Amino acid sequence: MKHIVSHKNPDTDTIVAAITYAKLLNKQGIEAKPVRIGVLNKETEFLLNKFNVESPELVETLPEGTEIVLVDHNEKSQSIDNIDELNLTGIIDHHKFNIQTSGPLNIRAEIIGSTASIVTKLYNEAGIEIPKVDAQLLISAILSDTLYYRSPTTTEQDRQIVQDLNKIAEFEDLEQHSLDLFAAKSNLGDIEVEKMIKLDYKIFNFGGDDYAIGVMETTNAQYGINRKEEILDKLKEIKKNDNLKGVFYSIVDILNEENTTMTSGAEELELLKTIFGAQIKDDMAYLGNVLSRKKQLVPKFEAHFN
């Protein structure tokens, strides 16, 4: 049984890719099931409830030798804890690659806005009809990962795939659906601050040191900014406890396309000024129209440190 593994701090794209890719394999007569290694975010929870889809099973580790395929990630630090004991046979992803494997594997990687777009192409290449609910999920993941085409990671293919999928999914108003998803994601209630920071959070090695970058994509940036004091305290604490060189937390205002970033200290703030020409005010860095960690934040950090 192949286990389709979504990434840590899962987002809608990785969960939808795991569910729909496992189903595609099932339709091809291959035993497969999706798994997740973290709590669903509010957006994904809303989506699965709306279309009455079961959440992938939550696991911490898998039995030694289990065959796995990674979706929407390829770095071990973002994957299941005992990955080195498992039989990794495939990766479907749209991120930069940073993995060393002990055996050969099937890799499908593209420069495209979402892993869900790639899974749609795999369905089409296999000549297998996409069930309506899967078309609904795939569209949702593409709209989510591209921030309704606002992210610079968006490609013409993503738009075309959504148009084609919508012949099956039949959303009357795609933009309204994206707003519903973003509203669900933005509704954080009184979530504990560390959980909030780590909802969408990745560790990167820049120039030999580990840095963490958390992102809050939201239609209600004020919610995050109002919690500034506790966020700043927590970022310092995480830096110390998790042995990081720096922690960044970007509040991405999806509708106004603005990035406000908080950091674990003054040095990190200074770094943002150097790398991004950020304006610093009230202990926060204003980065302007920087919406994508993958395409805008990480490459600039790497260029700076290398």
Q: Stretches 11-19, 183-191, 262-270, 273-281: which one binds Mn ion (CB under 5 A)?
A: 11-19
Q: Stretches 10-18, 118-126, 130-138, 293-301: which one binds Mn ion (CB under 5 A)?
A: 10-18
The contacts of residue 42 (CB under 8 Å, 6+ apart) are: 184, 185, 187, 188
User: Environment class of residue 140 by beta-carbon count within 10 Å: exposed (0-12), middle (13-18) or buried (19+)?
Assistant: buried
Q: How many residues bind Mn ion (CB under 5 A)?
A: 4
> What secondary structure letter does DSSP report for 63?
-
Nearest to 297 by CA among 204, 218, 193: 204
* In the complex, residue closest to Mn ion by CB: 13
Nearest to 56 by CA among 96, 110, 20, 109: 20
Q: Angle at which helices 115-126 and 132-145 pack, to 10 degrees?
A: 150
Under the binding rule (CB under 5 A), the answer on residue 13 touching Mn ion is yes
Q: Residue 92 corresponds to which tokens in the numbers above?
A: 């479907």
Site for Mn ion in 67-86 (CB under 5 A): 72
- HSE at residue 125, side-chain half, CA atoms within 13 A, is 9
Site for Mn ion in 139-198 (CB under 5 A): 145
Q: Stretches 65-73, 104-112, 193-201, 226-234: which one binds Mn ion (CB under 5 A)?
A: 65-73
By C-beta, is 72 or 253 nearer to Mn ion?
Answer: 72
Residue span 83-122 as binding mask against Mn ion, x where in contact by CB under 5 A, dash where not? --------------------------------x-------
By C-beta, is 152 or 265 nearer to Mn ion?
Answer: 152
The residues of the shown chain that bind Mn ion, judged by CB under 5 A, are 13, 72, 115, 145
